[in-house]
Amino acid sequence: MKKIVILTGAGMSAESGIKTFRGTDGLWEGHDIMEVASPEGYAANPELVLNFYNQRRKQLLAVAPNKAHYNLVRLEKNYDVEIITQNVDDLHERAGSTNVTHLHGELLKVRSSIDETIILDWRKELVLGDVCTKKSQLRPHIVWFGEMVPMLAKAAKKVAKADILVLIGTAMQVYPAAGLINAVHLNTPIYFIDPNPPVSESDFLNLKIIKEVASVGTCALLRYLKA
């Protein structure tokens, strides 16, 4: 069975009503990115950061997977599918995808501030005073700017084994995740689904651009792959 590795970004979940990571003004939900997505921002104003993610978590619990998520589940009938997502939502899992790696953490989990191996499922508000078993304040289980991406090496190994690589709704401009495309073997077919792709078909060998939003583009992908 051929292995398809799929890299997904904010455009994958946009049609579910989840806003993309940052707007054209460089802000995320009206906040400077570094205020709410960096260790420095958290140290300066932990209450602001916790409240920001409480709002994101509340939003996530109010939306549902879209057609694109379900289309990727269909691929599992005929392919060995590995999804690597830059998204912190759980919409791939809710749709039924069985093999999902989260590069940047998960919104519905929290972790200890002093022991990153202590990770808890979390669906309610997280406030100052919520602590782990080691009496350390719990923080969002999110990889912030300036922090290591612990799943990156695992993801690169998966990409290197791909028979087919698919990119959906990602500008591939946020490093180190953007470097994953370079792990693919030469001549591996690559499909790029995005209404405004940042690359052209001449940039990579065997690159097919599907210039559509995720729901429409994944329908085209299913036709291409006869799935």
Q: Kindly list the catalytic residues.
A: 104
* d(C-alpha 60, C-alpha 70), whole Å: 17
Could you tell me how far CA 85 lies from the centroid of its own chain?
Answer: 3
Instruction: Let me know how long the chain is.
Output: 227
Helix axes 67-75, 214-224, angle to 10 degrees: 20
Closest C-alpha to 5, from 188, 133, 132, 172: 188
Q: C-alpha angle with apex 182: 179 to 188, nearest 5 degrees? A: 140
Exposure b/e, 184-219, CB count within 10 A at least 16 = b: beeebbbbbbbeebebeeeebeebebbebbbbbbbe
* d(C-alpha 10, C-alpha 50), whole Å: 21
Tally DSSP H helices, then E strands, for the chain. Answer: 8, 11
